[in-house]
Amino acid sequence: MTAPPHDRTAALPPTFPESMMTTPTDLPIPSAAPVTSRDLFSSWEEQQAAYVAHRENRFQVMLDVLDLHCPDEPTVLDLACGPGSISERVLSRFPRARAVAVDYDPVLTQLARSVLARHDDRATVVEADLAHAGWSSALPGSSFDVVLTSTALHWLSPGQLLEVYAELARLLPPGAVFLNADHLRFGDGHPTLRHLSAAHDAAVQRAAFADGAATWERWWAMTAHHPELAPLLPERERRFADRPPQPPAPLEFHLAALRTAGFAEVGTVWQYLDDYVVFARR
């Protein structure tokens, strides 16, 4: 499930609601005609760009690594895919690529099916819960060249994250790569960098929202006007009702967890303040 990054410091106002898993129900619902899937996807892209500065730079780096490292017809696993942001970019840039997009959120997976339908059988959308071992059994029988994920795995606990990495290591063939783009928090040893990162996020959000980007809450309120997605909101609420926000896991934890899981080479391929693209090779 793709979501905004956790707020980093109490010194600045929160950048998004503490519970990312629940759908806000106490907000005024925008009065409008039913919205389309393309409307919601475009609004999602603007909303996420408000919470993630230089979001397109992240994607550009990930696609460049895919282009440099993988075969001409790569099969990509889009992990915690949200509405299909990564898969849409992969399938548009690489005409012979295939993508399997996985998420547990019933609203976002249904939206991803609509968004990716134009790519026909090159896109497959699967529901699976990364918080439970064995989630990869829901995947089609594909061998993956690369796993991509963005702004999503921070909602897993450290133990669950290690399990996901271990399952990926078992799933991937030697030479396959994993790329995770996310905010990875500076700890107490870097108070200045932590404050600068939070201040930068706040400034980006102020500018984006002033220009009309939807907030996280507002975007979910918009889904109530989508004829196919609105009926799925109660099920979404049920699935994530007992999943509180997790403590932030720093870069060092991700690198160590990937090594422990069995990845042969780990590092980073991009950084902007506390926003990273983590790399691992099986």
* Spatial distance between the Cα atoms of 209 and 84, rounded to a whole number of angstroms: 23
Sign of the Cα torsion 12, 18, 23, 25 reads negative
* Model confidence at 47: pLDDT above 80: yes
Q: From residue 180, how far is each of 98, 196, 255, 280 by CA, in Å?
A: 19, 22, 11, 9
Q: pLDDT averaged over the chain?
A: 90
Q: Residue 125, SS3?
A: strand
**Confidence band for 247, pLDDT divided at 50, 70 and 90:** confident
pLDDT tens digits along 15-41? 333 234 444 444 444 555 678 999 999
Q: From residue 179, how far is each of 108, 206, 221, 228, 250 by CA, in Å?
A: 21, 29, 31, 32, 16
* Spatial distance between the Cα atoms of 110 and 117, rounded to a whole number of angstroms: 11
Residue located via tokens 């547990």: 104
Q: What are the strands of the beta sheet with 275-281, ordered from one edge?
A: 123-127, 98-103, 75-79, 146-150, 177-183, 275-281, 265-272
What domains does the chain contain, in order, with CATH numbers?
A: 37-281 (3.40.50.150)
* Spatial distance between the Cα atoms of 216 and 221, rounded to a whole number of angstroms: 9
Cβ neighbour number for residue 262 with a 10 Å cutoff:
14
**pTM here?**
0.89
DSSP per-residue string spanning 126-165: EE--TTSTTGGGGS-S---SEEEEES-GGGS-HHHHHHHH
pLDDT over 90 percentage in the chain? 82
Amino acid at 159: G
Which has the closest alpha carbon to 123: 159, 84, 172? 84
pLDDT tens digits along 127-176? 999 999 999 999 998 799 999 999 999 999 999 999 999 999 999 999 99
Q: Which helix (H) or strand (E) holds 238?
A: helix 233-240
Q: From residue 105, how far is each of 5, 136, 137 by CA, in Å?
A: 17, 16, 17
* Model confidence at 75: pLDDT above 50: yes
